[in-house]
Amino acid sequence: MRTAGWTWACGVFLAAGAALAPVNAQELSERATKTFMSYAWQLTPEAFTKPDGTTIQIDKKKQNEVLVPLEVARKVIRAGRLSAHAQVCELAQDQSDNHKSLMQRHVQSKKWTPQQLVYINQLHLTTVMLLTGRIKLVEKKGDKQVVVEEEKREAQTCSDEQRQKVKELIASYVKAGPAAGSNTASSKAADAQPATAAPTRK
């Protein structure tokens, strides 16, 4: 596998190293949203084991049955953007609260299959990794693939003002969602994060 010669820098969204641009910047275009969705799909595992030991199988040949609508994906990416900011600002608890609130909303809506919930979780995680420089593109036989960047990268900075702004935005997001711990199943789903790995080529 040959490195494409450049690291993904979130050009469709925010430049890596500038992850703390205005959090409420304009919405992603349809093309950019689909790009994020595609990368998340590549990193979605074929099997995901929940905290209770139950394994969810995902048929990677049935992408259309697992992906969520564009507007839903935008909301997930928006939440992922907040989580990325929290990570850069070293706000671990706020990042966790933000992720749990996102997952509780989607579990309690009862709109999605278990496979789609895994994908929503993965889209959030992929967004965080994209914006914090944890993902890069590699090229194999002319096809760009997404892989997790294992090398340590230069730490991004966060001012006190930015940190406070992120805390306020996450607090507002969490407050607008389901009460924390209001549903045992959703709490367990929120605690789970699917493992990420380079996609398997069929």
The three-state (H, E, C) secondary structure of the chain, written as one string: CEECCCCCCCCCCCCCCCCCCCCCCCCCCHHHHHHHHHHHHHHCCCEEECCCCCEEECCCCCHHHHCCCHHHHHHHHHHHHHHHHHHHCCCHHHHHHHHHHHHHHHHHHCCCCHHHHHHHHHHHHHHHHHHCCCEEEEEECCEEEEEECCCCCCCCCCCHHHHHHHHHHHHHHHHHCCCCCCCHHHHHHHHCCCCCCCCCCC
Output 112 or 194, whichever has higher pLDDT.
112
Q: What pLDDT digit, counting tens, does each position of 53-91 carry?
A: 899 999 999 999 999 999 999 999 999 999 999 999 999
Q: What pLDDT digit, counting tens, does each position of 90-122 carry?
A: 999 999 999 999 999 999 999 999 999 999 999
Q: How confident is the model at residue 6 (pLDDT cuts 50, 70, 90)?
A: very low
> What does the pLDDT average to over 16-28?
48
